[in-house]
Amino acid sequence: MKKWFKYVKPYWVYFVCGPLCMIVEVIGEVLMPSFFARVMNLGSAFQGIEKEIAAAAEAIGAGTAYDPETLATFVKHLGNDALSSAMSLFEGAFESGDTVGAQAALAKMAEAAELVTAEPYVWQTMGTALLMVLVALIMMLGGVGGAYFGSKASVNFGADLRNDLFSKVQGFSFASIDKFSTGSLVTRLTNDVTQIQNTVNMMLRMMLRSPGMMIGALIMAISLRPDLSVILAVVLPLMLLSVGAIVLVGFPRFGRMQEKMDALNSTVQENITNVRVVKSFVSEEREKEKFRTANRNMKNAGMSAMKVMIFMSPVMTIFMNVTTMTILWFGARMVQNHGMEIGDLSAFISYVTQILSSLMMVTFMIVSFSRAAASAKRINAVLDEKTDLTDENAGRKEAVIEKGEIVFENVTFRYYKGSEDPVLSKIDLKIPAGSTVGIIGSTGCGKTTLVSLIPRLYDADEGRVLIDGIDVKDYSLYNLREGVGMVLQKNVLFSGTIESNLRWGDQEADMDAILEASTLAQADKFVSTFKEGYDTELDQGGTNVSGGQKQRLCIARALLKKPKILILDDSTSAVDTATERQIRQGLADYLNDSTKIIIAQRISSVKDADLIVVMDNGRIAAVGDHEELLEISEEYKEIFVSQTDGRSQPVAAAKA
């Protein structure tokens, strides 16, 4: 609960004012039926007082039985002093059996009644009508205020929650990101947060309004007619049991529905992201079927939940109608027997409707809460995810990378901590500062995983990774990653201009620096051919440039950062060998004092490196320069021969 309170505290004024405004509206709604009853009872008395006086005089004159309760009720509703005084005289004479005194009192009442009814009825009710208008205006202000403050509170609540959720995801390590699918994270950031936001809005508008109206209307109904209120004592428990059963069955189904939405979002995202691959393999029909399956699963999960929840409204309506019919049945007999005023019956029905309506709103709140609870559980899973890569315990947070020397000491790593087979096993390697190191090996041998440990995209399970003699865990994450430039296998560009993408390397870089980095990365050649140059807009993912152009832009972006350690992970695979040679020369000139690590599949990409690391099945198979490896490493020799079609001879043979 404390976790959620942090999103309430900054906007506590809205969270307090919203319900208070709704209470004002509720008070008005509870009072309104009594005003209507007063007007209706006054109208009944206005029309019936003279007839009732005549009936009383006739009964007393004939010596037949007469019940003065109806006449007393009419006099009370009219509120006239002369009528009230005459009524007191009549009741005294009637109880004492004084027929003459009773007739005289009735005559006075007739005179007073004639004066009262001579005045138009509208003026008789003007005071009540004005009071009703005033209350209605106050109710309107309360309703508008409640809606305003509720919206302000819920929107800010949702925005802050979404920000924290996004920030949490940004702090995830790759291992944490792998735990949640991309589609699931998108759903949690959008649909789940919106669900909670809407529930907060509903809660602020109905949390006090619905129970307040129910309690207020219940009190008014009991005070008005305790005997008819017995009907509510029977109906309400049955109604609550029915609603509770529906909610208990429906709640788990909303959780399953959100899971199916995750799968649907993942399917859509995967298809749209890789639409070119889908079209190139003519797999549209297969993808359509995949989407239809995910969509059908989502539909079935939604229908499963809704098949239960659709009973909510009919059940509530049945209870409301049966209750109203029962009250009308007994109430009409009371009115007929002069035991109840028509206005009081109308007010009682209004109160019962308010009670049942508020209970219906409470059940809808429960339904919304059940869906929000499922969303909250999913959001909590992200917020509670332990961030395994932090710099909280860093011993040298102020340290920055100055030279770029890298040392791997007996490093072992597993992606899945329970796995028996490590991805990297007992890696011992020293990379001198300012050197150029090539890493080569078969696909899946652990090349990318090895370099991912340098900027702490993952942490080693065993051993240490040191930069300039300092454990990478002792650097602050900002200083560590600020000193490392990395061009990943999957080249990612963002929507925006080419210039804005390059400025990811250095936001403060001037145009000369951007041009220099682009020239060294051989990107300026094609950028200058665009009509808008560096202001050319890139589509999301850079889909409007070729693979080779994308790689060169990513290299330029890394160069602009001027890192002490530059990692190129197979980042020139889509460019021709001549362009690759020019890029390598540019790197040597521009970052001559930086450590450069080049992961490649082609020996031509790494043969000029100061040091070449040959990896095989998560281990270092050999280390040396090109000529040494041709002599000592069978793996390197096989790669070399396969890429030169066996035409080249080992260096030793060539020398001989």
Q: Read out DSSP for 471-494? A: EGGGS-HHHHHHTEEEE-SS----
Question: Residue 78: its pLDDT value, please?
Answer: 73
Residue that finishes a domain, picked among 539, 562, 585: 562
Question: Residue 646: its pLDDT value, please?
Answer: 53
Question: Residue 656: its pLDDT value, please?
Answer: 32
Could you say which DSSP state residue 396 is in? -
**Are residues 44 and 139 part of one domain?**
yes
Question: Residue 654: its pLDDT value, please?
Answer: 37
pLDDT in tens, 127-182: 778 888 999 999 999 989 999 999 999 999 999 999 999 988 888 877 777 777 77
pTM higher than the cut 0.85: no
Q: Model confidence at 655, in pLDDT bands (50, 70, 90)?
A: very low
**Are residues 59 and 157 part of one domain?**
yes
Q: Are 228 and 330 in contact (CB under 8 A)?
A: yes
- Is residue 18 included in any domain, yes or no? yes
- pLDDT (average), residues 584-613: 87
**Are residues 97 and 9 part of one domain?**
yes
For residue 238, the domain's CATH number is 1.20.1560.10
Measured distance CA(620)–CA(610) in Å, rounded: 17
Model confidence at 81: pLDDT above 80: no
Residue that finishes a domain, picked among 541, 562, 583: 562
Domain tally for the chain?
A: 4
Residue 24 makes CB contacts below 8 A (sequence gap 6+) with: 138, 139, 141, 142, 145
Classify the phi-psi angles of 444: left when phi > 0, otherwise alpha if psi is within -120 to 50, otherwise beta. left
Distances (CA, A) of 462 to 157, 260, 414, 471: 42, 38, 10, 13
- Is residue 622 included in any domain, yes or no? yes
- Strand, coil or helix: 599: strand
Q: Model confidence at 124, in pLDDT bands (50, 70, 90)?
A: low
Residue 489: what are its φ and ψ, rounded to 5°? -60, -45
Q: Are 91 and 73 in contact (CB under 8 A)?
A: no
**Are residues 317 and 416 part of one domain?**
no
- Is residue 231 included in any domain, yes or no? yes
Model confidence at 468: pLDDT above 90: yes
Measured distance CA(550)–CA(570) in Å, rounded: 13
Looking at residue 150, its amino acid is: G
Measured distance CA(590)–CA(605) in Å, rounded: 18
Model confidence at 67: pLDDT above 90: no
Structure tokens belonging to residue 569 = 């992970």
For residue 586, the domain's CATH number is 3.40.50.300
Question: Residue 394: its pLDDT value, please?
Answer: 85
- Is residue 394 included in any domain, yes or no? no
**Are residues 188 and 123 part of one domain?**
no
Mean of per-residue pLDDT scores for the chain: 84
Question: Residue 647: its pLDDT value, please?
Answer: 53
Model confidence at 1: pLDDT above 80: no
Spatial strand order of the sheet with 424-431 comes to 424-431, 406-413, 462-467, 470-471
Lowest-confidence range among 229-243, 255-269, 470-484? 255-269
Alpha helices in 63-120 (DSSP H): 69-78, 81-96, 99-118
Measured distance CA(236)–CA(239) in Å, rounded: 5
**Are residues 287 and 232 part of one domain?**
yes
**Are residues 166 and 76 part of one domain?**
yes
Measured distance CA(278)–CA(271) in Å, rounded: 7
**Are residues 520 and 575 part of one domain?**
no
- Strand, coil or helix: 593: coil
DSSP string, 211-266: HHHHHHHHHHHHHH-TTTTHHHHHHHHHHHHHHHHHHHHHHHHHHHHHHHHHHHHH
Beta-bridge partners for 615: 441, 620
Structure tokens belonging to residue 493 = 């560009």
Measured distance CA(125)–CA(36) in Å, rounded: 10
Structure tokens belonging to residue 192 = 């789940």
Question: Residue 120: its pLDDT value, please?
Answer: 60
**Are residues 592 and 619 part of one domain?**
yes
**Are residues 599 and 520 part of one domain?**
no
- pLDDT (average), residues 75-80: 75
Question: Residue 151: its pLDDT value, please?
Answer: 92
Q: Which domain holds residue 17?
A: 1-170
Model confidence at 651: pLDDT above 60: no
User: How far is CA 410 from its chain centroid?
Assistant: 44
Question: Residue 427: its pLDDT value, please?
Answer: 93
Beta-bridge partners for 189: none
- pLDDT (average), residues 596-612: 89
- Is residue 395 included in any domain, yes or no? no
Q: Model confidence at 101, in pLDDT bands (50, 70, 90)?
A: confident
Percent of the chain with pLDDT over 70: 96
**Are residues 496 and 374 part of one domain?**
no
Structure tokens belonging to residue 49 = 């007082």
Classify the phi-psi angles of 617: left when phi > 0, otherwise alpha if psi is within -120 to 50, otherwise beta. left
The CA-based angle 48-54-59, given to 5 degrees, is 120
CB count, 10 Å around CB of 167?
A: 9
pLDDT in tens, 16-30: 999 899 889 888 888
Structure tokens belonging to residue 239 = 């109604």
pLDDT in tens, 338-389: 667 788 888 888 888 888 888 878 877 877 787 788 788 888 888 888 877 7
**Are residues 98 and 154 part of one domain?**
yes
- Is residue 81 included in any domain, yes or no? yes
- Strand, coil or helix: 251: helix
- Is residue 401 included in any domain, yes or no? no
Residue that finishes a domain, picked among 507, 531, 562: 562
Instruction: Choose among 55, 57, 59, 53: nearest CA to 72.
Output: 53
- Is residue 512 included in any domain, yes or no? yes
